[in-house]
Structure 1
Amino acid sequence: MMKTIDLSPLYRNSIGFDRFASLLDNAFRAESAAAGYPPYNIEALEENNYAITLAVAGFTDEELDIKVERGVLTVRGEKAKAEGKNYLYQGIANRTFERKFNLADYIEVTGADLENGLLTIKLLKHIPEAMKAKSISINGANKAHVELKDESFA
Structure 2
Amino acid sequence: MATIDLTPLYRSTIGFDRMASILDAAMRADTSTGYPPYNIEALEENRYQISVAVAGFEEKELELEVERGVLTVRGRKADEEGKQYLHKGIAFRSFERKFNLADYVQVEGANLKNGLLVVELRKVIPEQMKARRIPIGESGLRTIEAGEANQDRQAAA
Counterpart pick for 1:90 among 77, 88, 91: 88
Relative distance call for 1:140 and 1:47 in structure 2 (3 A) is closer
Q: Percent identity?
A: 64
Query: TM-score when scaled to structure 1?
Result: 0.87
Cα deviation code 1:74-97 (max 9, x no counterpart): 000010000111223211101111
Structure 1: state its 5+ residue gaps.
147-154
Alignment length (residue pairs)? 143
* Secondary structure at 1:20 match in 2: helix
Match of 2:18 in 1: 19
Query: TM-score when scaled to structure 2?
Result: 0.86
CA distance in 2, matches of 1:140, 1:25: 43
Report the alpha carbon displacement of residue 47 of structure 1 after superposing the two structures with TM. Answer: 2.2
Q: Give the 5 Å matches for 1:1-154.
A: 2-32=1-31, 34-139=32-137, 144-145=142-143
Higher helix residue share: 2
Higher strand residue share: 1
Q: Calculate the aligned-residue CA RMSD, in Å.
A: 1.7
Larger radius of gyration: 2
Cα deviation code 1:107-135 (max 9, x no counterpart): 11000000000000000111111110111
- The amino acid of 1:49's aligned partner reads R
